Amino acid sequence: MKGKDLLSVTDLGGEDIRLLISDAIDMKAQGWLSMLSGKTLAIMFEKPSLRTRVSFEVAMRQLGGETVYLSPDEVGLGERESVSDVARVLSRYVDAIVARTFSHQTLESLATYSRVPVINALSDWEHPCQALADLLTIYEKKGELQGLTLAFVGDGNNVARSLMLAASLTGMNFRIASPSGYAIQEEILRLAQSNAIGSGGEIFCTEEPRLAVGGADVVYTDVWTSMGQETEAEARRQIFAAYQVDGELLSLAREDAILMHPLPAHHGEEVAEGILDTPKSVVFDQAENRLHMQKALLAGILGGLEIPLAGYR
């Protein structure tokens, strides 16, 4: 894994994910370490962030390294400076780049021109760090991944894509219920189905939330309108109205099912008011685990661990 980019969950194999989970659990127990002393991480965001920025900054510091945060105004990717120039300049200063971008193509360009590893902290196509932290949380709560059923209710967005791919690599069953026109793209679906054949998982897509949630071990949802889609917000509220996770829908899952959401949440929209405060909700454990999984990722990519990236280009 050392020196490699992480742009997609598929840059990892199933065993890589299991090793990262194990390392994250160990690091969570150990607290502060010094394995990345002398290393510097650039954090470059086009979109605002709470969990992603803070978890990466704290993760790097808890591993003994330093961070440099670059705001949109300071960099102006593709506007003030070309993506290629930014990548080549930053490569001379830092040991890795964490980027949160509107376009996944921007991340790919950064990786092409950068001489140091690039980590996807969210793009319009995937959110691999979120999915990895989610699997860490599920493993902590359930003691396994293989054979568990994760039901996602809502938009087939970047989080859903990464979760589907991560589940398919680790032998989980993944079900998703989305309105017509908002389903996971065929190319992601085909890749996940191919992965699932090898891992023993199953992939199921439907427009009916009750079919997805019935008997599930994990119920997961996300906002109906992501950043950059604000002009669609009202239309999406109407289209997704039947996709709210409320007590009635959650009752169809297993009795010991957990409820997950990557946050921020729109209470009263994709989740009913108060449901994230019920005992089934693990959303704040999930948010905390962004820190611990990112410590494992940074340690691996910057030299603290040796986990080969199965699908690295």
How many CA atoms lie less than 13 Å away from 222 in the CB half-sphere?
Answer: 23
CATH of the domain at 226: 3.40.50.1370
Whether 251 and 183 share a structural domain: yes
Kindly state the DSSP code that residue 281 receives in the 8-state scheme: B
Coil, strand or helix: which one is 8? coil
Q: Are residues 75 and 174 in the same domain?
A: no
Contact 209, 178 (CB under 8 A): no
CB 56 within 8 A of CB 292: no
For every residue of 27-47, DSSP letters joined together read HHHH----TTTT-EEEEEESS
Stretch among 69-73, 195-199, 210-214, 259-263 having the lowest mean pLDDT: 69-73
Residues 216, 262 within the same domain: yes
Say if residue 144 is in the same domain as residue 113.
no
Euclidean distance between the first and final Cα of the chain, in Å? 12
Per-residue DSSP letters for 205-259?
EES-HHHHHTT-SEEEE--SS-TT-GGGHHHHHHHTGGG-B-HHHHTTS-TT-EE
Q: What is the pLDDT of residue 2?
A: 76
CA 42 – CA 20 distance, rounded (Å):
22
312 assigned to some structural domain:
no
Residue 305 has what pLDDT?
A: 55
Tally of structural domains, the chain: 2
Query: Region 195-199: what's the mean pLDDT?
Result: 97
How is residue 133 written in tokens?
Answer: 């932290």
The reply to whether 254 and 283 lie within a common domain is yes
Contact 166, 135 (CB under 8 A): yes
Pair of tokens at residue 213:
């949630």
Q: Is the pLDDT of residue 204 over 60?
A: yes
Cα separations in angstroms, 158 against 163, 219, 282: 9, 17, 21
C-alpha 281/C-alpha 308 separation (Å) is 34
The answer to pTM > 0.75 is yes
Distance from C-alpha of 70 to C-alpha of 141, rounded to nearest angstrom? 35
pLDDT interval class at 313 (50, 70, 90):
very low
Tens-place pLDDT, residues 93-152:
999 999 999 999 999 999 999 999 999 999 999 999 999 999 999 999 999 999 999 999
Q: Report the side by side order of strands in the sheet with 66-70.
A: 66-70, 40-45, 96-100, 118-120
Shared domain check, 170 and 89: no
* Helix locations, 77-185, DSSP H: 83-90, 104-113, 128-142, 158-169
Domain that holds residue 279: 129-287
* In a shared domain, residues 26 and 63: yes
- Distance (Å, whole) CA 182 – CA 27: 38
> Comparing 22-36, 60-74, 161-175, 226-240, which segment has the lowest mean pLDDT?
226-240
> Could you give the C-alpha distances from 187 to 157, 164, 167, in angstroms and in order?
14, 12, 16
Q: Are residues 140 and 211 in the same domain?
A: yes
Establish if 308 belongs to a structural domain. Answer: no
* For range 38-66, the mean pLDDT: 95
Q: Are residues 71 and 176 in the same domain?
A: no
Cα–Cα distance measured from residue 261 to residue 270, given in angstroms and rounded to the nearest whole number: 10
Contact 47, 121 (CB under 8 A): no
